[in-house]
């Protein structure tokens, strides 16, 4: 039995039962499960050697500095952009993620957003709830024959492509490492980002977020006020990846100009602030933070935007896979360090 102290932070009510079920398999004592994020309970977090956060716990250098006993971070996500990986490497802190848990899950949700926004399903439902049983003003578009632009043809992107082909759509894709055999087998064509934006009726984002470095431009504001102008008039934009990949102000501008007929967003640049009470309620909120929060509210209240709360991953099956893999990652660490 290991005496390693382990804590799960940012745990939602629906996760708790899954975690409690899986941690029985860990040969460890002193396991804590907390709803708060790490940065909001730093004194509590400092008591633990293994921490399992979700993406809203910011494992920055400043936070890690206050966790002297930290030996492992087992994030319950695929992305690790909320963790200062270089700082962890310096301190020999092991970082493990969940590389595969829901490539079909997120792809299905992506198409749910595509259908919701192109068929005006949310507006139609709201009209009925408001007592207006009429299709007036609710005309959508067919997907058959339209072009879908997939930014990022990894596992999720490939599953989106498969679904799109079932709808009779043409597909173009952007990917750093091209696989022409894959493109031929799935029936899509590789293009550059500029041509994808110009040619697509619907654009959907499936790349990870990472900031620019000296050797790499990164994916921050990959779609921005400059290149969003290239999109077709009346096209649609979908994001189930990470909020900072698309500049929020660019979306608002493109919607106002009629370049975008609609947007389906499961993520937003501002969601960390929206999730974290310490930021929103704190007295150190910056003008840029306020500007981003205003942009979020301007998008949220539009009829031509379907907005959901970073929910694409959230199915019973995917959650089970996330928790199971996370606990397995922790278990492997314990076995190696007994």
As a whole number of angstroms, the distance between CA 222 and CA 218 comes to 8
Q: What is the dihedral of CA 184, 185, 191, 192, to 10 degrees?
A: -130
Residue whose token pair is 């709808």:
167
Annotated active-site residue in 37, 242, 270, 292: 242
- Bridge partners of residue 171, in order along the sequence: 148
Annotated active-site residue in 175, 249, 270, 271: 271
Q: Is 76 a catalytic residue?
A: no
As a whole number of angstroms, the distance between CA 68 and CA 48 comes to 9
Q: Is 310 a catalytic residue?
A: yes
Task: Answer for the pair 110, 151: CB distance below 8 angstroms, yes or no.
Answer: no
Angle 24-28-29 from CA coordinates, rounded to 5°: 100
Residue whose token pair is 């173009």:
172
Q: Which two tokens stand for residue 38?
A: 């790490």
Q: Is 297 a catalytic residue?
A: no
The residues assigned a catalytic role are 242, 271, 310
């Amino acid at each position: 039995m290991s005496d390693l102290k382990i804590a799960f932070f940012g745990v939602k009510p629906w996760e708790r039962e899954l975690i409690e079920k899986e941690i029985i398999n860990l040969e460890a004592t002193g396991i804590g499960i907390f709803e708060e994020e790490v940065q909001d309970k730093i004194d509590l977090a400092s008591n633990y050697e293994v921490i399992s956060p979700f993406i809203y716990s910011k494992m920055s250098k400043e936070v890690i500095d206050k966790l002297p006993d930290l030996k492992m971070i087992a994030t319950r996500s695929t992305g690790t952009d909320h963790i200062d990986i270089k700082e962890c490497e310096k301190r020999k802190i092991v970082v493990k993620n969940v590389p595969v848990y829901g490539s079909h899950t997120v792809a299905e949700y992506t198409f749910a957003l595509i259908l919701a926004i192109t068929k005006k399903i949310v507006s139609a439902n709201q009209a009925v709830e408001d007592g207006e049983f009429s299709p007036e003003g609710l005309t959508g578009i067919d997907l058959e024959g339209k072009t879908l632009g997939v930014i990022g043809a990894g596992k999720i992107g490939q599953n989106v492509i498969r679904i799109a082909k079932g709808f009779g759509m043409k597909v173009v894709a952007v990917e750093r490492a091209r696989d022409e055999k894959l493109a031929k087998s799935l029936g899509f064509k590789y293009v550059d980002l500029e041509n994808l934006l110009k040619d697509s009726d619907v654009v959907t984002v499936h790349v990870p977020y990472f900031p620019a470095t000296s050797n790499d431009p990164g994916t921050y504001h990959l779609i921005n006020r400059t290149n969003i102008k290239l999109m077709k008039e009346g096209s649609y934009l979908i994001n189930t990846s990470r909020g900072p990949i698309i500049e929020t102000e660019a979306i608002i501008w493109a919607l106002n100009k009629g370049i975008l007929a609609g947007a389906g967003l499961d993520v937003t640049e501002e969601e960390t602030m929206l999730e974290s009470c310490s930021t929103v309620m704190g007295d150190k909120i910056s003008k840029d933070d306020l500007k981003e929060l205003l942009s979020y509210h301007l998008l949220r209240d539009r009829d031509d935007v379907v907005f959901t709360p970073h929910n694409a991953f959230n199915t019973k099956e995917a959650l089970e896979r996330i928790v199971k893999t996370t606990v397995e990652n922790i278990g492997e660490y314990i076995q190696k360090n007994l």
